[in-house]
Amino acid sequence: MTESTLSVNQNPMRKVKLAKVTVNIGLGESGDRLQKAYQLLQELTGAKPVYTISKKTIREFGIRKGQEIGVKVTLRGTQAEGFLRKVLEAIGYRLKKSSFDEYGNVSFGIAEHVILPGARYDPEIGIFGMDIAITLERAGYRISRRRRKKTRIPRRHRVTKEEAMEFLRNNFNVQLVEG
């Protein structure tokens, strides 16, 4: 069988896959509330979060450069897929088409963490909103991240907006709404 007779679906290099899910809680302040967000994120995802640091000083918000102002965690593999299913269930398996970018990434937010299945409200911790970013890629994307002979992903191999929508529709039963 030659390459031209192979369909797009049969070529394993063209298959879209879930690369990672990044969960972020941005507070804009440090202190006790940041520690509670750290605990919450660790409890919800089962992974160890890292602190995000401000890049510049903003006097109006009382933020200094280098100050810890949020927490994030990156999930990969089965852990990412499990958390993504939980989050999609919480939002009713509905995503806006405007949440997709041209490179197959999807971002959306959750106003309150208590809507997640299995999450409970704890008055000690409080309620936090969070941002979820889904990154999709194909086999071979390592060439853009490796240390030696790094090169860019050709346009024909990148995940498009339509392919990302189709992937989420087929694998996670997501309904796409206008917006």
> Domains (ranges, CATH) in the chain?
14-175 (3.30.1440.10)
Over residues 47-97, the pLDDT tens digits come to: 999 999 888 888 887 888 888 889 999 999 999 999 999 999 999 999 999
Predicted TM-score (pTM) of this structure: 0.86
Percent with pLDDT over 70 in the chain: 95
Over residues 103-135, the pLDDT tens digits come to: 989 999 998 888 888 878 878 878 888 999 999
Please say whether the beta carbons of 38 and 49 come within 8 A. yes
* Distance (Å, whole) CA 57 – CA 60: 9
Q: Rounded mean pLDDT of the chain?
A: 88
Average pLDDT over residues 135-148: 92
Q: What is the pLDDT of residue 9?
A: 63
pLDDT at 8 over 80: no
Please say whether the beta carbons of 81 and 20 come within 8 A. no
* Distance (Å, whole) CA 131 – CA 164: 18
Q: What's the per-residue H, E or C state across 75-86?
A: ECHHHHHHHHHH
